[in-house]
Amino acid sequence: MTTVYSSIASPADRMTERLRAEAREEQPGPATGPVTKETQIIAIYGKGGIGKSFTLANLSYMMAQQGKKVLLIGCDPKSDTTSLLFGGKACPTIIETSSRKKLAGDEVKIGDVCFKRDGVYAMELGGPEVGRGCGGRGIIHGFETLEKLGFHEWGFDYVLLDFLGDVVCGGFGLPIARDMCQKVIVVASNDLQSLYVANNVCSAVEYFRKLGGNVGVAGMVINKDDGTGEAAAFAERAGIPILSAIPANEDIRRKSANYEIIGKPDGEWGPLFGELAENVGSAPPVRPKPLTQDELLGLFASEVVGRNVVLQPATLEEMCGVSSIEKPTLEVVYDAA
């Protein structure tokens, strides 16, 4: 596209027109073929408590059992991503270990922060204590430490990043904003709040695609699926595939609460997680179509989300609890000449 500038336009006007011309240019579509990078870095987002850690622990375990070399990185300040993988044991976080080592004048080493189980390597970035810092800034600091440890030189088939999806500050959007991953996966359920978060993640991906980013959404994992269908309807409207639907099952809930891995090839749920592992690896990143708020609410019955509520304007009398007296203005208004 060629833009012609007027010879009498000011430099500021020419800059404005150039930026507008760039904004009007159609961005190239997402890659639709298989990911070709040797290491697939995948960011998994979802509402807090939706089951990302459960899904990732079992997914990473299954991938390792399939012969893949997998690194699981918890990017949630709660530092609970690896708890299921390690039978409930707390994993020393990178931020806490880095601070302690720095005070002692020592350097952080891989063995201080990365641990393994049955072929799965795992670590936690961690975060500040409540009221003592920014969680997003902690994420950024954690990745800076990972880079010093040689993150870009590690030889893994998959690196899975567990991110809290209902926090919108820059640190938690790092993989999307800086093209640190090739694709994103959202974990949701058949409830409005988890789908609201999934939609926000799709919106973030689409926003950075318009700015020239390359990250796409590989699909959705429906967790605690009770068969009502709202999550599947969202995925269809957003144009993203369903990678797996994990049922709302008492056996799964009980074993997860007891920190038991169920994603084992010879277990009852092995085929489910085996299929999920295959889908995660092969799903191409696609450009999502985020829904509007009304479209999102439209996935649910009106009595469930209160869609029939009418907004009633408040009055000053109601706010103050007394009747207000209209007073004439003292402003002098001049007639136009």
Whether the predicted pLDDT of 295 surpasses 70: yes
How far apart, in whole angstroms, are the C-alpha atoms of residue 82 and residue 94?
A: 13
How far apart, in whole angstroms, are the C-alpha atoms of residue 76 and residue 72?
A: 12
Whether the predicted pLDDT of 214 surpasses 60: yes
Mean pLDDT (the chain) is 85
Give the pLDDT score at 234: 96
Q: Which of 112, 166, 179, 191 is catalytic?
A: 166
**How is the beta sheet containing 183-188 ordered, strand by strand?**
115-117, 120-124, 70-74, 158-164, 40-46, 183-188, 216-225, 242-247
Counting residues of the chain whose pLDDT is more than 90, the rounded percentage is: 48
Whether the predicted pLDDT of 128 surpasses 70: no
Whether the predicted pLDDT of 8 surpasses 80: no
Catalytic residue check, 78: yes
Q: Choose among 120, 133, 134: nearest CA to 91.
A: 120
DSSP 81-127: TTTTTTTTPPPPBHHHHHHHHHHHT----HHHH-EEETTEEEEE---
Catalytic residue check, 179: no
Tokens 């978060």 found at: 197
Q: Which of 78, 101, 116, 264 is catalytic?
A: 78
Give the pLDDT score at 261: 95
Q: Which of 47, 183, 224, 255 is catalytic?
A: 47
Residue ranges of domains in the chain: 40-297
Return the sign of the alpha-carbon dihedral for residues 283, 286, 75, 212. Answer: positive
Which range among 31-45, 156-170, 223-237 shows the weakest confidence by mean pLDDT?
31-45
Question: Mean pLDDT across the stretch 310-335?
Answer: 77
Q: Which of 52, 183, 224, 255 is catalytic?
A: 52
46: DSSP letter? E
CA angle 184, 185, 190 (to 5 degrees): 145
The structure's pTM equals 0.78
Which pair of structure tokens corresponds to residue 183? Answer: 């694709």
Residue-wise pLDDT for 159-185, tens only, equals 999 987 766 666 678 888 888 899 999
Enumerate the β-bridge partners of residue 248: none
Give the pLDDT score at 71: 95
Is 33 in a helix, a strand, or coil? coil
* CB-CB neighbours of 242 under 10 Å: 16
Catalytic residue check, 210: no
Catalytic residue check, 116: no
How far apart, in whole angstroms, are the C-alpha atoms of residue 174 and residue 15?
A: 29
Whether the predicted pLDDT of 35 surpasses 60: no
Give the pLDDT score at 96: 86
Give the pLDDT score at 196: 94
Give the pLDDT score at 31: 46
Counting residues of the chain whose pLDDT is more than 70, the rounded percentage is: 84
Which pair of structure tokens corresponds to residue 199? Answer: 């939609």
For residues 152 and 128, the model is more confident at 152
Name the CATH superfamily for 40-297. P-loop containing nucleotide triphosphate hydrolases (3.40.50.300)
Alpha-helix residue ranges (DSSP H) falling in the chain: 11-24, 52-65, 94-104, 110-113, 135-148, 174-177, 192-210, 230-238, 250-257, 270-282, 293-297, 302-305, 316-320
Contact predicate 259/55, CB 8 Å: no
